[in-house]
Amino acid sequence: MHEHDDAAPSCTSCHRALHPIEATRWACAGCQQQAAQQLADLPTLHRQLADVLTPGRGAHVVGSRGAYGPRPPADLDVMDLTDPRVGVIATLVSCVRDWVETSREGDAGGTLTPPEWPAGPDARLAALCRWLRWHLDWACGMHPGVGDSLRDIQQVHQHAHSRATGERGERRVTVACPCGGLLRVGASTPSATCGTCGTRYGHDDVLRLPLAPRAMAAAAA
């Protein structure tokens, strides 16, 4: 059984107070759900990034800004992100290593076995995402450092999503859930989960939420 040091345990990812029934866990249900969804989305986003990189394959991206010809193929930003050594895959590999190592220490509730590493970036990424989703519940329950992993997953997902869809410059706003929780959303946000109460909003519903008061929005940005 793990215990938080302080009297009021909070999620190591979003830092909100944990519900009493999850007080011995390290991440809240909302953060866990969000990470599961991001891991489910990543293989598709990664393939779309490859399309952006390969002239002729990315018909859905080319021309989205008007008929001024295709995007430059050598987009360094995208290259970095899909480079297996520094991009999405490297980030997820380091999460896997971290979780496996942690599971071998003390009372972490069993030893995790690392996944097979299939050849090819698409297959490898799919295997990584599947493995992390399988062990996400363990990590949120047993891994004191899971907050770092969840932030890494969120960051690569956000970056991959904005690069794959060409929406880097999209204006994002902070909206308020009826429970008081805040969500950062943009016109292309497919869905969002409130980190405070765990309510999941579809695309239309999340855009109908009221804008957060300016001071709160500034604190959340």
DSSP letters spanning the chain: ----SSSS-B-TTT-PBPPGGGTTSSS-HHHHHHHHHHHHHHHHHHHHHHHHHSTTT-TTTTTTT-SS-PPPS--HHHHHHH-TTTSHHHHHHHHHHHHHHHHTSTTSSSPPPPPP--SSHHHHHHHHHHHHHHHHHHHHHH-TTHHHHHHHHHHHHHHHHHHHHT-TT--EEEEE-TTS-EEEEETT--EEE-TTT--EEEHHHHHHSPBPPHHHHHHH-
Part in contact with Zn ion (CB under 5 A); list of ranges 13-21, 59-67, 154-162, 185-193: 13-21
Least distance to Zn ion from the beta carbon of 178, Å?
Answer: 6
In the list 194, 206, 209, 212, the residue contacting Zn ion (rule: CB under 5 A) is 194
Q: Between residues 28 and 88, which has the closer beta carbon with respect to Zn ion?
A: 28
**Size of the residue set binding Zn ion (CB under 5 A):** 12
When asked if residue 31 is in the footprint of Zn ion (CB under 5 A), the reply is: yes
Backbone phi and psi for residue 185, each to the nearest 5 degrees, phi listed first: -135, 160
When asked if residue 13 is in the footprint of Zn ion (CB under 5 A), the reply is: yes
Part in contact with Zn ion (CB under 5 A); list of ranges 18-26, 41-49, 95-103, 187-195: 187-195
When asked if residue 220 is in the footprint of Zn ion (CB under 5 A), the reply is: no
Least distance to Zn ion from the beta carbon of 214, Å?
Answer: 19
Least distance to Zn ion from the beta carbon of 137, Å?
Answer: 14
Q: Between residues 48 and 189, which has the closer beta carbon with respect to Zn ion?
A: 189
When asked if residue 216 is in the footprint of Zn ion (CB under 5 A), the reply is: no
Bridge partners (DSSP) listed for residue 175: 183, 211
When asked if residue 196 is in the footprint of Zn ion (CB under 5 A), the reply is: yes
Rounded distance between C-alpha atoms, residue 73 and residue 61, angstroms = 12
When asked if residue 28 is in the footprint of Zn ion (CB under 5 A), the reply is: yes
Angle, CA 165 vertex, CA 163 and CA 166 arms, to 5°: 60
When asked if residue 11 is in the footprint of Zn ion (CB under 5 A), the reply is: yes
When asked if residue 197 is in the footprint of Zn ion (CB under 5 A), the reply is: yes
Least distance to Zn ion from the beta carbon of 13, Å?
Answer: 5
Part in contact with Zn ion (CB under 5 A); list of ranges 64-72, 95-103, 128-136, 192-200: 192-200
All residues at 6 or more sequence positions from 79 whose CB lies less than 8 Å from its CB, including other chains: 53
Q: Between residues 192 and 194, which has the closer beta carbon with respect to Zn ion?
A: 194
Contact positions vs Zn ion (CB under 5 A): 11, 13-14, 28, 31, 177, 179, 181, 194, 196-197, 199
